[in-house]
Structures are given as C-alpha cells and as structure tokens.
C-alpha cells in the first residue's frame, strides 16, 4: 500500500438513477483495470450487484418502472448489509493509480448516508441513460455532491441503443445541472465503448485526496457491512496517518475502544493488506458487535491520540414511525427477537415497545422514510417468516410549549392541546421539498399539480427541462409537502396519475405549523373527544386526520383518516355547515394487514366482539373544531 501515496489515489462514486447502468459501468471499470476477468458469455453475473433479493427477483434489466424503483430502493436499504465499494489499479504511461469506487445509496431516505459517503470522495461520475434522460433522484444526489465541492464527470450511457438521444439528453443535463455539453462523455457500459475515456477522466479531472502520513491517525467511517461471524466490518477512508492491524483505536462519537483485527481493501473481494495509508479506502474488522456501533460519519483515531472529528456529525434520525404487531399475540416474543436481529444489520431503525388495546403487545419502529419501512417489513416477512400487521405510518410532530419543545412520534403521547392548562403554543409537522420529473407534461402536468395541491402543497413551481416539442418534453415540478402527506398513498397515486412516467424524490425541509383541531364525535352512539389534523380543505370537503383522545376502550390508539363533509372556518365552523356529518374510518390500519388481522380475530370469539365495534363514526351537529397552531396559514 506504500506504493500508492495520495497523488496517485482517486476516490470517486457513481451517481445514477435505477437501471441507468451503474453496476454495468462498475464491472467494465473493474475489467479494464484487470481487477476482474472479462466475463465469458455464459457468466453474466454482475460483480458489484450482488444482492440476493435482487437476483432472485431478476430485477436487474427491468425497464424503468416503479416496480424497479421499489426493488432498487430495497437494495439501497440493504446496502447497509452489502456495500458496493471496490479498489482498482490503473496504469497510465507506466504510472500506477489506485482508484477507489465508493458506493452511495441513491435515495434520499438515506440522505445522511449519501452525504457521508460522498464525503470520502473527491469526485463523482454523474451517469445518465441516453434513452431515459435525467431523473429526480439523480438531481438531489447531484446537489449534495456539488455542495461538497466534488468534481463531477458527466457521462451519458447506453449510446449503443437505437433509441438513445445523446444530444437531447446532453441539453437536458445542461439545463438541469448547468453542465457544458462538451464535457460530457458518451459511452456504452454494455459494449465498453468509451469506457477507457472514463478511466482517463477520473485520473485527469478528479483531484487526489490530501492526507499526511506523519500526522496522528484520522480515519473516516463511511459505511459498514455486517458479517454473521466477524461482526461489523467498517469501510473507512484514512485521512491522515497510517492504520495498521493490531492498532488500538477509539471512536470519536461513542468513545468506545477497539483493536483492529483485520485491515484490507475491497479488490473487489476482501484483500488483507495489513495497513492503509493516507487517502486510501478499505475495510477494517475490530470486534464491533452491532451495526449501531458503526456510526456513518464517525471519526476513528488511535487510542490516546485524539483528533478533531469530521464536522457536522449527526446520528440518523427517524422520520416515519409505525407500530408492528404480531397477527397472533402469542408470537410477540418471537417477533421482538426477529426485529432485534434484523436491526443488527440495519442500524438506522429505532425500536420501542408499544402496547395497544386492540392489537396487543408490539413494537413501535422509526424509519428513515416510507420505502425504508417497506423494505424492513418485507425483510421481516421474508427472512424471519414473521406474520405481522403494521399500523398506518405517522411522522414526528414538534409540540411547542410556552417553555419547551417536545418531539412526539406516537399519537398516544400527544398532549391535550385543547386543555388551556397544557400551555401548548403551537404544533409543527415535518415538511419536505419534493421534486417530480415527468414526461408528456401536456397530458399530465395538471394531474401532477392537482395531486400535489390535494396533498397540501405550497410554493409549487415547474419548469421545462428541455426544449422538445410539447408532447415529448420533460418538466420538473417542485413544491413543499408535509411529510405526513407522502407517507401514505402518494407514490401509488403518482404512479397511477402519471402512468408510470414520473420520478419522484424529496428532501428534508424542516418543520412548519400544522392545523390541529379539537372535535367531538360519536362513535357507536357515544361521544368521543378527538384531535383532528385538518390536512386538506376545499369548499366541498375537508379531510381530517383524527386522534382519538379519550379512548373508547375498544379502539386501538391509531390515527384515522376521515373525510369530513363540512366546511371549516379559520376558528370555529359554523353550525349550519355541519350537516351530513358522517365519516368512515378508512385508514386505521395500513394496507391489507388490516383485513388479515380482522380475519384472524374473526376466528377468536373475543376478537369478533372487539372488531365489530370498529364501525362508522358519526359526527354530531354539536361537533366543533377549534383550530390550533394555525399561524401563518
């Protein structure tokens, strides 16, 4: 490893949308540098695309679609299990260079990890499919890369396909990213055409890392894998100093100490080198037992020689919460054990025990986003054979009291904001900045805008990405949306309304005041106090989310979504508008799981009795709304 000082090292990643050819390009780079053998025709397995679930489902090669997107995100989530980082050596004019390809998850559910893995790079290839054009996910990752000062090498892929339109897509890249079309490389990762020029550009355009050998050891942890036998394997980038096998190291974040038992590079399989020099990228094993100990963005130093940690360390924060309950309550212990084992490999999930009157004992889990949640649920079912119900996802709310601020992630912890003694000043909800890129705007633009407005969009804007004819051009629509609006059915609706021709992405945009209302309604004839979050208003209808406050014994403490057939004024609704107040409980439980639980309970006498009471909610004439926290709306 001493043969590779900083000036011959290049650390880079590939930013690409699903199926734009990231794995194929990575394979070509590995082949051209002699890191792996050129494939024989019968062996088409991609080296860096190893994820089992993807192989089993034959996802690679799927046309761009939401199904593909789903599985691709699934891969992103499980990249915490298998990262795709590889080192290769490329010799130009007799001078050997060490090129480290560092993988980045491509979705903003993992925004923090994207930003951290890019922090280990000095450059990135921005890979765009010359038949598909720019997609929403690439834009947000591009901006993160740009903010970090990375050198971007734009690459157009799949130019071998007859449907490719390199000039048009290059113009799109110019208008979206401000890239000069003459800097764009045109390649076919499949046939290998133009890939040699990519290697050359990596060496010529990307600056080398700056590291100093005789400074104290400073290593940056950017990813980790979990190995059943060896525990956590951390992927690191040595910033300064030399890391050796046997070194005693300390984590800046946890202050825990470890002894380095293995050091090496991914080439692309693990190759033990015994040391890693400044600027180099590789793996270490150091008896870390749980993934939660390997904090992405952590700095490691030699024990007794402290260094400044990388700036801005933030632990991952959960943005979407849901309760997971066993269908059969006797299975709780087994379920909890499975969840704990699964979180060993996915450090970003938070767990808390929870119990519900109707659903029994369960766990409340926090996820980075809804897709992360779906991936976790699917893995729990597939890998641990768990038979579960998952409740409607909720987001964390910020309750601002006169003297303090409290984060609430469980509706049951919601304070009684209607009680003046509660001293609640305002309730805020998380919002995101959303981008939707879609084709055929003449047909779909109105639909997309409608969809956004019906989900409480604000600051809506749109512009065209290229100057094609109105029928074939692409447009980007941006707006702010409450996160709670996209945790339920936003993806499905987007897919339906755009006929699959839209890509969607979002990033965290802080919190804003939300509309909470107090109401009283009748449930099976009995008055029930409730809190409603008015999520959508129009002259004809108001959609409210209701938290049942004084719980009727039989109702699980869940969030209900109800259409309320009444107009709501700013402060209190006029009584005469409160006709035909009828609301059906529509989303008490998430997806098809609700029916499964019902079915299961139907087999139990007691359950039958319990579930029967899940009926129609009647809002009486006397129902009233007192909107709180409506500042600025």
Ligand X SMILES: Nc1nc2c(ncn2[C@@H]2O[C@H](COP(=O)(O)OP(=O)(O)OP(=O)(O)O)[C@@H](O)[C@H]2O)c(=O)[nH]1
Which residue positions form the known binding site?
Answer: 16-23, 103-107, 157-160
Largest CA distance in the chain: 86
Nearer to ligand X, 190 or 596 (CB): 190
- Report, in Å, the least distance between residue 236 CB and ligand X: 24
Interface with ligand X by CB under 6 A: which range of 154-162, 261-269, 425-433, 592-600? 154-162
Cβ contacts of residue 337 below 8 Å, gap of 6+? Answer: none
CA torsion 39→40→43→47, rounded to 10°?
A: -10
502 contacts: CB under 8 Å, gap ≥ 6: 436, 437, 438, 439, 444, 448, 494, 495
Residues present in the chain in total: 633
Residue 106 or 211: which CB sits closer to ligand X? 106
Q: Per-residue x/- marks for ligand X, 560-589, CB under 6 A?
A: ------------------------------
Please identify which residue in the block is written with the tokens 């996160």: 483
Segment near ligand X (CB under 6 A); pick from 147-155, 184-192, 316-324, 479-487? 184-192
Distance of CA 213 to the CA centre of its chain: 36
Instruction: Give the strand pairing for 275-276 and 185-186.
Output: unpaired
**What is the contact mask toward ligand X in residues 89 to 128, using x (rule: CB under 6 A)?**
----------------------------------------
**Which among 252, 263, 265 is positioned nearest to 302, based on CA atoms?**
252
C-beta closer to ligand X: residue 72 or 625: 72
Asked if 133 interacts with ligand X (CB under 6 A), we say no
Query: Contact between 220 and ligand X (CB under 6 A)?
Result: no
Calpha distance 78→300 (Å, rounded): 24
Which span sits near ligand X by CB under 6 A: 158-166, 326-334, 381-389, 481-489?
Answer: 158-166
The CA–CA distances, whole Å, from 134 to 44, 66, 156, 160, 202 equal 27, 16, 10, 18, 22
Among 87, 188, 478, 515, binds ligand X (CB under 6 A): 188
Closest by CA to 209, choosing from 4, 11, 3, 2, is 11
Q: Which tokens belong to 171?
A: 């113009």
User: What whole-number distance in Å separates Cα of residue 444 and Cα of residue 454?
Assistant: 15
Strand partners of residue 313 = none
Closest of 555, 518, 511, 335 to residue 408, by C-alpha: 511
Between 103 and 354, name the residue whose CB sits nearer to ligand X.
103
66 binds ligand X (CB under 6 A): no
Specify the residue, 17 or 218, whose C-beta has the smaller distance to ligand X: 17
Q: What's the min distance (Å) between Cβ of 158 and ligand X? A: 4
By CB under 6 A, is residue 22 in contact with ligand X? Answer: yes
Instruction: Provide CB contacts within 8 A for 520, sequence distance 6+.
Output: 527, 528, 529, 530, 620, 622, 623, 624
Cβ at position 118, least distance to ligand X in Å: 17
Binding ligand X by CB under 6 A: which of 34, 91, 161, 333? 161
Token pair belonging to 543? 């959609």
The answer to whether 489 contacts ligand X (rule: CB under 6 A) is no
Q: What is the DSSP letter of 75?
A: H
Among 90, 97, 116, 158, binds ligand X (CB under 6 A): 158
Out of 151, 160, 336, 416, point to the residue binding ligand X (CB under 6 A): 160
Count H helices and E strands in the chain, helices first.
14, 33
**Residue list, annotated binding site for GTP:** 16-23, 103-107, 157-160
Of 20, 116, 347, 549, the residue at the interface with ligand X (CB under 6 A) is 20
Q: Shortest Cβ distance from residue 72 to ligand X (Å)?
A: 5
**How many angstroms separate the CA atoms of 400 and 125, rounded?**
44
Residue 398 binds to ligand X (criterion: CB under 6 A) = no
Is the bond leading into 268 cis (omega within 30 degrees of zero)? yes
189 binds ligand X (CB under 6 A): yes
CB of 185 to ligand X, least distance (A): 12
Q: What is the torsion angle, in degrees rounded to the nearest 10, for the CA atoms of residue 105, residue 107, residue 110 and residue 115?
A: 70
DSSP letter (8 states) at residue 293: G
**Residue among 56, 99, 49 nearest 79 (CA):** 49
Q: Given the rule CB under 6 A, which of 11-19, 236-244, 380-388, 463-471 is the region that contacts ligand X?
A: 11-19
Q: Decide whether 20 or 295 has the Cβ nearer to ligand X.
A: 20
> Which range in 183-191, 376-384, 454-462, 480-488 contacts ligand X by CB under 6 A?
183-191
Q: Is 105 helix (H, G, I), strand (E, B) or coil?
A: coil
d(CA 483, CA 470) in angstroms, rounded, equals: 32
Residue 79 as a binder of ligand X (CB under 6 A): the answer is: no
Q: Assign 3-class secondary structure to 399-416.
A: EEECCCEEEECCHHHCCC
Kindly tell me which of 19 and 247 has the beta carbon lying closer to ligand X. Answer: 19
Using the rule CB under 6 A, is 16 a contact of ligand X?
Answer: yes
Q: Is 18 in the site for ligand X (CB under 6 A)?
A: yes
Contact 139, 223 (CB under 8 A): no
Of residues 160 and 336, the one with the C-beta less far from ligand X: 160
CA 318 to chain centre: 10
Is 375:348 a contact under the CB 8 Å cutoff?
A: no
- Residue given tokens 């633009």 in the structure block: 445
Residues ≥6 apart with Cβ < 8 Å to 93 = none
Which among 188-196, 303-311, 430-438, 552-560 is the span making contact with ligand X, rule CB under 6 A? Answer: 188-196
The site map against ligand X for 239-278 (x = CB under 6 A) is ----------------------------------------
Q: How far is the CB of 372 from ligand X (least distance, A)?
A: 17
- Span near ligand X by CB under 6 A; candidates 152-160, 320-328, 442-450, 612-620: 152-160
Of 16-24, 246-254, 490-498, 504-512: span binding ligand X (CB under 6 A): 16-24
Do the Cβ atoms of 84 and 283 come closer than 8 Å? no
Tell me the two tokens of residue 473. 């051009």
Q: Is 49 in the site for ligand X (CB under 6 A)?
A: yes
* Binding residue for ligand X, selected from 138, 157, 165, 277, defined by CB under 6 A: 157
Question: Minimum CB separation from ligand X for residue 173, in Å?
Answer: 17
Among 11, 13, 35, 60, binds ligand X (CB under 6 A): 60
Kindly state the DSSP code that residue 376 receives in the 8-state scheme.
H
List the one residue from 13, 23, 104, 478 that touches ligand X (CB under 6 A): 23
CB of 206 closer than 8 Å to CB of 122: yes
Q: Which of 1, 15, 21, 504 forms a contact with ligand X (CB under 6 A)?
A: 21
Between 46 and 630, CB nearer to ligand X: 46
Of residues 19 and 447, the one with the C-beta less far from ligand X = 19
| Site of tokens 């999930």 | 349
Task: Select 57 or 608, whichever has its Cβ closest to ligand X.
Answer: 57
- Chain residues binding ligand X by CB under 6 A are 16, 18-24, 49, 60-61, 72, 157-158, 160-161, 188-190
């Amino acid at each position: 490893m001493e043969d590779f000082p900083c000036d011959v090292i290049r650390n880079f990643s590939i930013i690409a949308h699903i199926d734009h050819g990231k794995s194929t390009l990575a394979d070509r780079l590995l082949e051209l540098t002699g890191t792996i053998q050129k494939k024989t025709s019968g062996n088409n397995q991609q080296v860096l695309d190893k994820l089992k679930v993807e192989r089993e489902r034959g996802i690679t090669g799927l046309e761009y679609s939401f199904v593909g997107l789903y599985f691709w995100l699934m891969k992103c989530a499980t990249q915490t299990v298998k990262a795709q980082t590889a080192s290769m050596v490329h010799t130009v004019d007799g001078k050997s260079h060490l090129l480290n390809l560092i993988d980045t998850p491509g979705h903003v559910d993992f925004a923090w990890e994207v930003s951290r893995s890019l922090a280990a790079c000095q450059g990135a290839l921005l890979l765009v499919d010359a038949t598909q054009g720019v997609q929403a996910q690439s834009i947000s990752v591009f901006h993160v890369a740009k903010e970090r000062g990375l050198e971007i090498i734009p690459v157009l892929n799949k130019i071998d396909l007859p449907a490719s339109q390199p000039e048009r897509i290059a113009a799109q890249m110019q208008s979206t990213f401000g890239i000069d079309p003459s800097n764009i490389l045109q390649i076919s990762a499949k046939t290998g055409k133009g890939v040699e020029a990519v290697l050359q550009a990596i060496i010529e355009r990307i600056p080398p890392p700056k590291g100093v050998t005789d400074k104290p050891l400073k290593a940056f942890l950017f990813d980790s894998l979990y190995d059943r036998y060896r525990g956590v394997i951390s992927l690191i980038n040595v910033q300064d100093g030399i890391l050796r096998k046997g070194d005693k190291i300390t984590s800046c974040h946890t202050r825990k100490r470890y002894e380095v038992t293995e050091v090496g590079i991914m080439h692309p399989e693990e190759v033990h080198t015994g040391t890693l020099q400044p600027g180099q990228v590789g793996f270490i094993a150091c008896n870390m037992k749980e993934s939660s100990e390997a904090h992405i963005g952590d700095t490691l130093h030699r024990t007794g020689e402290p260094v400044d940690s990388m700036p801005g360390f933030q632990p991952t924060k959960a943005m979407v919460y849901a309760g997971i309950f066993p269908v059969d309550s006797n299975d709780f212990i087994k379920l909890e054990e499975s969840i704990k084992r699964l979180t060993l490999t996915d450090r970003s999930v938070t767990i808390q025990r929870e119990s519900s009157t109707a659903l029994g004992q369960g766990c409340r889990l926090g996820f980075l986003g809804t897709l992360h949640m779906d991936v976790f649920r699917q893995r729990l079912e597939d890998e641990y054979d768990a038979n579960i119900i998952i409740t409607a996802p909720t987001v964390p709310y910020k309750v601002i009291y006169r003297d303090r601020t409290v984060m609430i992630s469980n509706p049951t912890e919601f304070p009684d904001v209607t009680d003046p003694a509660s001293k609640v000043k305002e309730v805020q909800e998380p919002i995101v900045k959303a981008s939707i890129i879609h084709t055929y705007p003449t047909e779909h633009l109105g639909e997309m805008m409608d969809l956004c407005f019906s989900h409480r969009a604000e600051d809506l804007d749109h512009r065209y990405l290229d100057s094609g004819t109105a029928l074939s051009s692409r447009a980007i629509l941006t707006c702010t949306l409450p996160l709670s609006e996209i945790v339920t059915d936003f993806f499905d609706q987007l897919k339906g309304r755009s006929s699959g021709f839209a890509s969607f992405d979002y990033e965290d945009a802080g919190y804003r005041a939300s509309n909470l209302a107090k109401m009283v309604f009748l449930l099976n004839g009995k008055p029930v106090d409730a809190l409603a979050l008015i999520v959508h208003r129009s002259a004809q209808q108001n959609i409210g989310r209701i938290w049942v406050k004084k719980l009727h014994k039989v109702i699980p403490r869940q969030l209900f979504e109800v259409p309320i057939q009444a107009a709501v004024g700013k402060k209190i609704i006029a009584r005469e508008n409160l006709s035909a107040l009828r609301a059906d409980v529509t989303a008490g439980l998430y997806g098809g799981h609700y029916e499964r639980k019902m079915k299961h309970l139907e087999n139990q006498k007691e359950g039958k009795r319990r579930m029967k009471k899940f009926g129609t909610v009647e809002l009486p004439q006397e129902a009233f709304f007192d909107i709180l926290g409506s500042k600025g709306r």
